[in-house]
Amino acid sequence: MCLAIPGKILEISSDNPTSALVDVVGVRRKIDLGLLLDDMPVPGDWVLIHVGFAMSKISQQDATDQMNTLRALGEVEGAVQEVQGYGLENS
Amino acid sequence: MRFVDEFRAPELITRTAEEIRRLAGRERHYRLMEVCGGHTHAIYRFGLKDILPDNIELIHGPGCPVCVLPMGRIDDGLSIAQQPDVIFAAFGDMMRVPGTQGSPLEHKARGMDVRIVYSPSDALKLARLNPDKHVMFFAIGFETTAPSTALTVMRAKAEGIRNFSVFSNHVTIIPAIRAILDSPDMRLDAFIGPGHVSTVIGCRPYEWIASNQAKPIVVSGFEPLDMLQSIVMLLHQLRKGEARVENQYKRVVPWEGNRAALRAMAEVFQLRPYFEWRGLGFISQSALRLRDSYAEWDAEQRFEVPGVRVTDPLAAQCGEVLKGVLKPHQCKLFGRECTPEHPIGALMVSSEGSCAAFYSYEHRKAATASPLASIA
């Protein structure tokens, strides 16, 4: 999907600095930070997530706005389903 | 207009809409193309066309990576997965896209091992979990997605995971825009530029559209206010005869793009000399294949691929809708043989396809076609 999902970084994996636990409207999954090597996020930062990878860091306000946009587009359910599926958790 | 109150600054949305009416005037007819499927979806969902004056026409571009894949590529991917002990892994959006012998989901019903993944790294995880099988990841997407596939392939190589390959159908957005501008069917004044592709490639790649083609382009966010502001910015340029690249989505899109993502793409992928796009024909240097240094993870090197060219069903006008020459409801099959429940072509399957978007929100209005319904 073209649209990215906002999520909050909760913790960076201790054994793998390019893996982080994120929270997306209450769903917690690991995502890959490999595309943000030049400007790594820290816990508390918000990121835009696409197919399990963090694409960019954004402000909390922008995360809220992006969530509103997804909601207005009827895409929240799809976004949550995607995040729930990360790590093959839904299979 | 719907959803005005749900967004920040609703009064600003109304004022921006008024400014558009003022700037658009009455005499000139403006043709603006939004490239990306996410914007197409937003336009229909927010009812943006209802608040734009009649002399501003929004034309849908080919920014739907599922929609632009010719049927033959689906067949190719499925033929690989028909081999014993191969798992076909793809995003959910691919599952209902028709090949000549049915969609991946229909193949699953007939016994093929087909799995939905939500990330390329999960396709790799499947390979780790199933050492006695081969996982073929059917990769799709523009530059938004290609870096993630690239990183995953790098990890597969680093870990020595050999039962994993990528069937790459990644395509690049700039050649598609170029093909549209070269097409004799299309007359366009300006572009609303893609949002999330641009977080990867930045704004610089669009500069040739402004300087060589003299068309303005504004990279836009996805909220109604974002898109309306982008239209205001385009109208200002068009009225003054200017052609520049502007970034309305500064809060997310950096001008230089994402260097780490671009490095990953360059490390793993190279441009194919040419690739066939539904509706646009063969476009040179428009798609990605794995470099020889990653040949072991390239499904097209590991397996025999039929490579048969398949044309769309005769009556389906997917290509013309993709190019923006026809509106979805002008396709003869739209709403009759081709609906979201039984789609004939990918534009009705994909959430970013213009037919699916049009069907959901507007098909009832199609009976009373506006004077702008035909492009002639």
- Which residues, including other chains, have CB under 8 Å from residue B336's CB and lie 6 or more apart? none
What's the pLDDT at B374? Answer: 32
Residue B79 is assigned to a structural domain of this protein: yes
Q: What pLDDT was estimated at residue B111? A: 95
On whether any CB of chain B is under 8 Å from the CB of A62, the answer is: yes
Structural domain contains residue A91: no
- For residues B340 and A53, the model is more confident at A53
Angle of helix B354-362 relative to helix B37-45, nearest 10 degrees, comes to: 0
CB spacing of A52 vs B144 below 8 angstroms: no
Residues 6+ apart with CB under 8 A from B348: B338, B339, B340, B355, B356, B359
pTM of full prediction above 0.95: no
Considering the domain boundaries, does residue A58 fall inside one?
A: yes
Pick from B37, B147, B352: CB nearest A35: B147
Give the pLDDT mean for A68-80.
89
Give contacts of A58 with chain B, Cβ < 8 Å: 251-252
- Span A1-47, pLDDT tens digits: 568 999 999 999 999 999 999 999 999 999 999 999 999 999 999 99
Residue A14 at interface with chain B, using a CB cutoff of 8 Å: no
Q: Is residue B283 part of a domain?
A: yes
**pLDDT score of B375:** 29
Mutate to test the interface with A, among B220, B252, B349 (most CBs of A within 10 A): B252
For B253, the 3-state DSSP assignment is coil
Residues of B in contact with A50 (CB under 8 A): 144-145, 148, 196
Are B251 and A58 in contact (CB < 8 Å)?
yes
Q: What is the full per-residue pLDDT of chain B (376 aa) written as tens digits?
A: 445 556 667 788 889 999 999 999 998 999 999 999 899 989 988 889 888 999 999 999 988 999 999 999 999 999 999 999 999 999 998 999 989 999 999 999 999 999 999 999 999 999 999 999 999 999 999 999 999 999 999 999 999 999 999 999 999 999 999 999 988 878 899 999 999 999 999 999 999 999 999 999 999 999 999 999 999 999 999 999 999 999 999 999 999 999 999 999 999 999 999 999 988 889 999 999 999 999 999 999 999 888 888 887 778 898 888 888 888 999 999 999 999 888 888 889 887 788 998 898 875 455 444 333 332 2
Q: Which domain range does residue A32 map to?
A: 5-86
- Residue in chain B closest to A80 (alpha carbons) equals B118
Q: Report the DSSP pairing between strands A27-32 and A19-24.
A: antiparallel
Q: Which residues of A touch B10 (CB under 8 A)?
A: none
**Number of structural domains in chain A:** 1
In a domain, B8, yes or no: no
**Is B116 a domain residue?**
yes
Q: Based on the structure, what is the number of domains in chain B?
A: 1
Range of the domain at B107: 71-173+257-302
Q: What's the pLDDT score for residue B7?
A: 65
Q: What is the pLDDT of residue B365?
A: 56
Say if the Cβ atoms of A55 and B63 lie within 8 Å: no
Contact call for A37 and B260, based on CB within 8 A: yes
pLDDT at B373: 37
Query: To 5 degrees, how large is the angle CA B131–CA B144–CA B99?
Result: 60
User: Tell me, what CATH number does A35's domain have?
Assistant: 2.30.30.140
| pLDDT recorded at residue B8 | 65
B268 located within any domain: yes
pLDDT of residue B5: 55
B93·A2 Cβ contact <8 A: no
ipTM: 0.95
CATH number (domain holding residue B90): 3.40.50.11740
- Whole-angstrom CA distances from A77 to A46, A72, B342 are 20, 11, 22
Question: In 3D, which of B35, B5, B67 has the Cα closest to residue B220?
Answer: B35
Domain assignment present for residue B278? The answer is yes
Q: If residue B49 lies in a helix (H) or strand (E), which one and from where to where?
A: helix B48-51
Residue of chain A whose alpha carbon sits nearest to that of B129: A88
- A67 to chain B, any CB pair closer than 8 A? The answer is no
Contacts of B191 (CB under 8 A, 6+ apart): B32, B33, B34, B35, B61, B177, B206, B209, B215, B216, B217, B218
Mutation target to probe the B interface, by most B beta carbons within 10 A, among A29, A49, A51 is A51
Cβ-based neighbours of B314, under 8 Å, separated by 6 or more: none
User: Looking at chain B, which residue has its C-alpha nearest residue A85?
Assistant: B118
| Closest by Cα among B64, B66, B61 to B325 | B61
